[in-house]
Amino acid sequence: MEITQQSSEQLGNMQESIGLKLDPLGDNISSLELVRVSGSDIDVANAARVSFGKTITSLSEKDVKLIQYLMNHDHTSPFEHNQFSFRVKAPIFVTRQWMRHRMASYNEISYRYVNVPMEFYTPHQWRYQDPVNRQASHGSFENEEMRKIYQDTIETAVQAYEKLLANNVCRELARGLLPVCTYTQFIYTCNLHSLTHFMKLRLHPGAQWEIQQFAQGLLKLALPHFPVSLEAWKHKHCPDLQL
């Protein structure tokens, strides 16, 4: 059976995902956008079948099963012959976790070069420190006193930053006062293998909640372009995830 045409719904989802801007943190500041994609599930199958000197132009059921087999058995190299580019707006502390993933390319806005409107991430709710996993959190609670301390500290940092700039301190030094909840922007380019590795780690329950939200957004935007590969990955690693 040949799967020669993508459904109109699939094509519509692909078109909609390019340029669609998500707000992963739900604060009307964060954003995630797929700006470019190269390749498809056909390229995954062709990368695998080149070992036998074969090339396809449409997916068959046999090719679908091949891709599922590759994903289930961690044959990763066929998933590397493609590319995604995302534009990301996230707090600096999320970005520094993100850029630990080195099998990708990054270009980030520079506070050495530009003065941009100061935007900061404030959590919707506080979370407790996990008593077992020292790098994780759990639960949630409200505390207006802690929120005021948090926001007052940001305001103090901004005032100090602006005062330094007003007194001719260079931007590259004055920015040292800005907290890691300051928003930054960057371009993130990777292949499908790198993307799935990122999602495997950052969709884990022990990952920080904020970066989990961005990982879900990446999957949502990429899925229409590689539905066979990513449905196989999702079935293996997070079958209960609702996008």
Active-site amino acid positions: 202
Please name the residue ranges forming H helices in 184-226.
Answer: 192-202, 209-222
Q: Report the first-to-last Cα separation within the chain, whole angstroms.
A: 30
| Amino acid at position 191, single letter | N
Question: Which residues lie closer than 8 Å to 10 by C-beta, 6 or more apart?
Answer: 224, 227
198 near 230, Cβ under 8 Å?
no
The CA distances from residue 75 to 1, 78, 204, 225, in Å, are 25, 7, 21, 20
- The distance between the two most distant Cα atoms of the chain, rounded to a whole number of Å, is 72
The answer to whether the CB of 107 falls within 8 A of the CB of 186 is: yes
